Amino acid sequence: MLNIALFGPPGAGKGTQAKKLAEKYNLTYISTGDILRREIAESTELGLEAKAIIEQGGLVSDEIIVQIIENSIKMNPDSKGILFDGFPRTYAQAYILDGLLIKMNTKLSCLLSLEVPKPELINRMMLRAEKEKRADDKKEVVENRLREYELKTVPVIDFYNQQGKYYPIDGIGTVEEVFERLTERIEDILSQTLLNVVFFGPPGAGKGTQAKRIAKRFNMEYVSTGEMIRKEVANQTELGKIAEPFLETGDIVPDDIAIRLIERKIANHNNTKGFIFKGFPSTLVQAYILSGLMKKSDTSISLVIELKTSTLQAIKRLTARSKTNKARTYDMNMDTIIHRMEVYEQRSGKIAEFYKVQDKMVSFNGDIDENKLHELIASTIEKAFKEIRK
Ligand code: AP5
Ligand code: MG
């Protein structure tokens, strides 16, 4: 979801630009100012409470604003996100917005701040006063609104600056020019959205083969916990020594090890389009852990590719691999292969369920031709990229 807060002093052009942006990106448009003016016009209880404050150029209470936002967040089903105009307007409202979006299982993408110097702001509002007759566009009220902005609203910038979500935009120029600056910035933010994918399936299903090809083709980072653990073992690092016995028997290594390795991988990436996880999660607990790991980097798992294969096919592939130089220690005897398949069978149902209820799982027949399968998965990945970047 693309959730934008359009920010800036009174008269900066928030309303003007917001309407165009909402249309272009198919966003639900929420202007607290417009809603309050409507409430006043309809003489509702809320409107009566807000009227005097607005006419003096003050800010209405956060309590009133929460009610307004909660009522208007009921989005239309086609909406791709929300565009806030005039909210958050206090430091407290920034936290309120966080809470509201968490409740909706989403987050703010960016705060786009229209920068316009004070004399131009006053100029614009005086011009608007002639056309629109807004009760708060009188000279002394405008002065008060600008003071309120400096005092109570500017601190909101800090809140988002700390999260790297604050983007100042030059608000001087024609409406079209400013709009172009805004959309350029939005496109840029959208292109940075990561697509994170889990490859899931029994041993021998072809996860590694397919996951690596997809990572290469889409410029994504391949994260195989198995591969990372083998490297640690080979180098006899502290983590490697702990992991070694588990690897040899084909058992799942302790979660702490995989977590450290994944954290390291995420921290060291540069310029990736997303992460591809293979071999993790292999338990329900790890599925929860992965959600947390993603959250920590302000991202999430978007897609789970399940490769299905018959037991017979998997055994054939693993024994074939055991005769090549890619042989794993746990490929070498049938007992270990069967043990790994049993471990998978015991644990996989709950993981599948975890992602199915989130509507993230897409299943493929892993027994078909490798190239054909690759193309099928690639087109699913392409669609997913379009989806998150819309
Ligand atoms: P609100 O309605 O949000 O008003 P505001 O923030 O003061 O902003 P404006 O609507 O005046 O300006 P704008 O940035 O939208 O500019 P516009 O596009 O119209 O809030 C009103 C009151 O409600 C507040 O004072 C407060 O009391 C209360 N309130 C609202 N939200 C609240 C909250 N969250 N918490 C507490 N209280 C809240 O453009 C201005 C003019 O310039 C227009 O005439 C336009 O045509 C023109 N213009 C636009 N772009 C350009 C350009 N590029 N070049 C030349 N002219 C331009
Ligand atoms: Mg406005």
pLDDT digits (tens, 9 = 90+) for 64-100: 999 999 888 876 767 789 999 999 999 999 999 999 9
pLDDT at 294: 94
Quick one: fold of 196-388? Rossmann fold (3.40.50)
Residue-level pLDDT at 390: 67
- pTM passes above 0.85: no
Q: Which of 18-32, 271-285, 313-327 has the lowest mean pLDDT?
A: 313-327
311 CA to centre of ligand 2 in angstroms: 63
For ligand 2, a single-atom ion, which residues have Cβ within 5 Å? Answer: 15, 33
Q: What is the mean pLDDT of residues 355-371?
A: 95
Domain boundaries, the chain: 4-191, 196-388
Stretch 309-332: mean pLDDT: 85
169 lines ligand 1 (CB under 6 A): no
Q: How confident is the model at residue 149 (pLDDT cuts 50, 70, 90)?
A: very high
47 CB within 6 A, ligand 1: no
pLDDT at 330 over 90: no
Pick the CATH number of 4-191 from 2.40.160.20, 1.20.1250.20, 3.40.80.10, 3.40.50.300: 3.40.50.300
Cross-strand bridge partners of residue 364 = 307
Q: Give yes or no on whether 4-191 and 196-388 have one common fold.
A: yes
Q: Is residue 75 lining ligand 1, measured as CB closer than 6 Å?
A: no
Q: How far is the CA of 13 from the centre of ligand 2 (A)?
A: 7
pLDDT single digits (tens) 259-294: 999 999 999 887 899 999 998 999 999 999 999 999
Report whether residue 65 contacts ligand 1, using a CB cutoff of 6 Å: yes
Statement: residue 227 has pLDDT above 70: yes
Average pLDDT on 42-55 reads 94
Residue 340 predicted with pLDDT over 90: no
Distance of CA 259 from the midpoint of ligand 2 (Å): 47
Atom of ligand 1 at shortest distance to CA of 131? 44
Cα–ligand 1 centroid distance for 121 (angstroms): 10
Give pLDDT, residue 47. 94
Ligand 1 pocket test, candidate residues 36, 67, 115, most atoms within 8 A of CB: 36
pLDDT tens, position by position, 176-208: 999 999 999 999 998 888 999 999 999 888 999
> Hey, whose CA ends up nearest to atom 39 of ligand 1?
13
